[in-house]
Amino acid sequence: MAIQLQQVSYTYADRSMWRQTALHGINLNIAKGSLTGIAGATGSGKSTLLQLFNGILKPTEGTVQVLDVTITAGEKSPKLLPLRRRVGLVFQFPEQQMFEDTVEKDICFGPLNFGFTLEEAKERARKAMTDMGLDLALLERNPFRLSGGQMRKAAIASVLAMDPDIVVLDEPTATLDPVSRAELIALLERLCREQGRTIIIVTHRMDELLPYADSWALLKGGELAFQGSGQELAADPAILERCGLTIPQSLRYWQAVSTRFGLGTEKPLLTAEALAERIAAVLEERKNAAGTEEMGSGHE
Amino acid sequence: MNQANIETKSGTEPAVIVLEGVSFGYDPEHPILHDINVSIPQGQWLSIVGPNGCGKSTLVKLLNALLPKSAGLISVCGHTLQEETIQSIRQCIGMVFQNPDNQFIGQTVEEDILFGLEGLCLPYEEMKERLDYYTGKLGIDHLLSKHPGELSGGQKQRVAIASILAMKPGIVIFDEASSMLDEGSRDELMGILRDMQAEGSYTILLITHDADEILASDRVLALHGGSIAADVSPAELFRDAELLERCHLREPYTWRLARELQSRGITVDVPASEKELIDTLWPYNYSK
């Protein structure tokens, strides 16, 4: 397991008047090399959960185990530097993590801190920029002079440049244009499938992640309401509504089509292309079946 | 707002926003926006779309002089933008930024929303009424005593939206203000905007990448490389594959599904619901 949470609760401002429990008794397992989606209504604890994954927040109760580091509530925590190097976290708002006066310095900051030479760091920065589809000319730009979408891509590049084993992203596709969004998801999927990295993505756009995610975790009011595969989710999409989420269109259409044509046992087809292809095939099969009875007719 | 001064440019409604030959750049050699000409009638709902970095946010920031234009003429609500009119122009524009942290002022949600209303010198009852109404509409009435730091990203976005809508500005500008909201909340927000538009007193500018939001609007302004690439209706945009590609956009799921089916010889219209699709496919299945 890459990440294992046992009975984890987290309370903000514990021991103060303003204490507020964001997570209650979470038990969660995320397998190494898997691509996991996390969804839930606004304020359900998604961002809090992510910050437990690299020790930015420490559990108020329970045990968080990430790779070979274990953080237990109430105990002195181990050194977190190795953990931070191996778990890259991309925040919800890119302004929250950019601080240098050029994009290049910002991206090199991580690798330099983790002991790479300036040359290596710069090389990594260029590679990460290219992976994110950013023009290398932007390396010289002040990060705060980038557009919102470019800034988000640069923030993701700065995390990828550290070459983490686990990449955790908090709504990475918000404010990206749809083509960039699809490219980012494809890049993350490649990192997962080809390099065996563990990818965890919080998203409000389940549609774009559903075709790729191995497993899903759904939060509701700080509790884990569901953990399972996309297929399990497709079999019972009502769980989403119980979590205060709308059932994504791709899932609704798959469900309607698979019910009507009796495809319930097949792997869900969650892109428009795949669904259209399957519908065409089903219609063709039925046409042929009808055609054998009534030779020649039914042909256009 | 001086009604008499509003220029009538196009359509039946007077134009509330007019841009003529507007350019902007930090460096004259590399303009970020170049020779923008557009006229937006009162009451219109306009989507501004285009790839990341094409100048969408810059364009709307020019309107209320958050950024100074380099050339051209800007007129908002009958005021030609110049030093003396900035104040009056800002009063008719309400802008929700991409990152809600950029617009929090109050120590609590309630204070934050009231701050704008106090600035309008409204009577207490009126402020209270608007506070209750908009926090209720956006589902944040239980958060009134919270510090903005205690809120999640999506909750912050709702507070920012409520604080702007409560001021009832004639022109509402959302810079990807729904990017952190889930689909259900986004639909609710679209409903609020639709109601506002039906009242007729609001002009709405939405910077967005979301196909459903674009579909809800009257008109789409597509930017590309700092110029206007297209000024079309949402349906025209989604039918134009080349334009979609150039603007880094995708059509709504249902449009895509219909197109994919059509390309496989199955004639269907864009379905309004999954039931409608099934109903279309079912007789097809037997009649052919």
What CATH number has the domain bearing residue B53?
Answer: 3.40.50.300
Q: Evaluate whether residue A299 is within a structural domain.
A: no
Same structural domain for residues B135 and B260? no
Residues A208 and A283 grouped into a single domain: no
B78 and B130 both lie in a single domain: yes
pLDDT at position A299 is: 45
Of residues A42, A174, A178, nearest to B152 (C-beta): A42
Please give the residue range of the domain that contains residue B137. Answer: 3-241
CB contact under 8 A, B183 and A283: no
Residue A280: pLDDT band with limits 50, 70, 90: very high
Tell me how crowded residue B212 is: count the other CB atoms within 10 A of its CB: 16
Q: Residues A43, A187: one domain? A: yes
| Domains: count for chain B | 2
Tell me the ipTM for this assembly. 0.80
B281 and B210 share one domain: no
Is B221 found in the same domain as B263?
Answer: no
Same domain, B257 and B222: no
Cβ of residue B187 closer than 8 Å to a chain A Cβ: yes
Lowest mean pLDDT among A88-102, B3-17, B19-33, B82-96: B3-17
Tell me how far apart the terminal alpha carbons of chain A are, to the nearest angstrom: 55
**What pLDDT is attached to residue B5?**
39
Report the pLDDT value the prediction gives residue B287, as an integer from 0 to 100: 43
End-to-end Cα, chain B, rounded Å? 62
Q: Residues A169, B72: contact at Cβ < 8 Å? A: no
Per residue in A110-131, pLDDT (tens digit) is: 999 989 999 999 999 999 999 8
DSSP states along chain B:
--GGG----SSSSPEEEEEEEEEE-SSTTS-SEEEEEEEEETT-EEEEE-STTSSHHHHHHHHTTSS--SEEEEEETTEE-SGGGHHHHHHHEEEE-SSGGGG--SSSHHHHHHHHHHHTT--HHHHHHHHHHHHHHTT-GGGTTS-GGGS-HHHHHHHHHHHHHTT--SEEEEESTTTTS-HHHHHHHHHHHHHHHHHS--EEEEE---HHHHHHSSEEEEEETTEEEEEE-HHHHHH-HHHHHHTT----HHHHHHHHHHTTT---PPPSSHHHHHHHHHHHHHH-
Considering the domain architecture, whether residues A161 and A18 belong to the same structural domain is answered as yes
| Owning domain of residue A148 | 3-247
In a domain? residue A63: yes
Residue of chain A whose Cα is closest to the Cα of B158: A42
3-class secondary structure, A188: helix
Q: How confident is the model at residue A17 (pLDDT cuts 50, 70, 90)?
A: confident
Same structural domain, A242 and A262: no
Give the C-alpha separation, B273 to A113, whole Å.
Answer: 53
Describe the strand order of the beta sheet including B171-175 as a list of residue ranges: B93-96, B171-175, B203-207, B45-49, B219-224, B227-232
List the one residue out of B33, B250, B221 whose CA is nearest residue A147: B33
In a domain, B91, yes or no: yes
Please say whether the beta carbons of B2 and B78 come within 8 A. yes
B263 lies in a domain?
Answer: yes
Asked whether the beta carbons of residue B50 and residue A177 sit closer than 8 angstroms, the reply is yes
Shared domain for A119 and A204, answered yes or no, is yes
b (16+ CB within 10 A) / e for A80-114 = beebbbbbbbbbbbbbebbeeeebbbbbbbbbbeb
Residues A79 and A120 reside in one and the same domain: yes
**Interface size between A and B, measured as CB pairs under 8 A:** 165
- At A39-75, the pLDDT tens digits run 998 889 999 999 999 899 999 999 999 999 999 998 8
Residues B124 and B223 in one domain: yes
Confidence of residue A293 (pLDDT cuts 50, 70, 90): low
**pLDDT tens track for B109-150:** 999 999 989 988 899 999 999 999 999 988 899 999 998 888
The answer on A261 and A232 residing in a single domain is: no
Residues B191 and B57 in one domain: yes
Highest mean pLDDT among B132-136, B186-190, B266-270: B132-136
Q: Are residues A184 and A95 both part of a single domain?
A: yes
- A187-220: pLDDT as tens digits: 999 999 999 999 999 998 898 899 999 999 999 9
Predicted local distance difference test score (pLDDT) of residue A11: 93
Cα–Cα distance for residue pair A289/A283, rounded to 1 Å: 10
Question: How much is the pLDDT for B284?
Answer: 57
Residue A298 within any structural domain of the chain: no
Residue of B209, B212, B256 to mutate when probing chain A, most A C-beta within 10 A:
B209
- Contact at CB, B250 and A179, closer than 8 angstroms: yes
Average pLDDT over residues B181-190: 83
Both structure tokens of A140: 């010289």
Split at pLDDT 50, 70, 90, the class of B4 is very low
Q: Is residue A300 part of a domain?
A: no
Q: Are residues B282 and B232 in the same domain?
A: no
CA distance B52 to A152: 10
Residues A8 and A78 in one domain: yes
Asked if A197 and A253 sit in the same domain, the reply is: no
Task: Please identify among residues 108-137 of chain B the ones whose CB lies closer than 8 Å to any CB of chain A.
Answer: none
Task: Considering only the beta carbons, identify the residue of A46, A272, A290 that sits closest to B260.
Answer: A272
- Closest in A42, A180, A253 to B274, CB measured: A253
Q: Which residues of A touch B248 (CB under 8 A)?
A: 177-180
pLDDT for residue A297 is more than 80: no
What are B59-79's pLDDT values in tens digits? 999 998 899 988 999 999 999
pLDDT digits (tens, 9 = 90+) for A136-170: 999 999 998 888 888 989 999 999 999 999 999 99
User: Is the domain of B257 the same as that of B168?
Assistant: no
Residues B83 and B38 in one domain: yes
User: Cα separation of A132 and A186, whole Å?
Assistant: 11
Which tokens in the block code for residue A118? Answer: 């300036």
CB contact under 8 A, B184 and A277: no
Query: In this structure, are A103 and A163 located in the same domain?
Result: yes
Q: Tell me phi and psi for residue B116, to 5 degrees.
A: -65, -40
In a domain, B154, yes or no: yes
Residue of A219, A235, A216, A237 whose CA lies nearest to A227: A216
Would you say residue B246 lies in a domain?
Answer: no
- State whether B52 and B27 are in the same domain: yes
Cβ-contact A201, A148 below 8 angstroms? no
Specify if B247 maps to a domain.
no
In a domain, A223, yes or no: yes
Quick one: which of B228, B227, B203 has its CA closest to B217? Answer: B203
Q: Does residue B77 lie within any of the structural domains?
A: yes
Statement to judge: residues A133 and A255 lie in one domain: no
Number of structural domains in chain A: 2
Decide if A64 contacts A141 (C-beta within 8 A). Answer: no
Domain boundary among A212, A229, A247: A247
Same structural domain, B34 and B137: yes
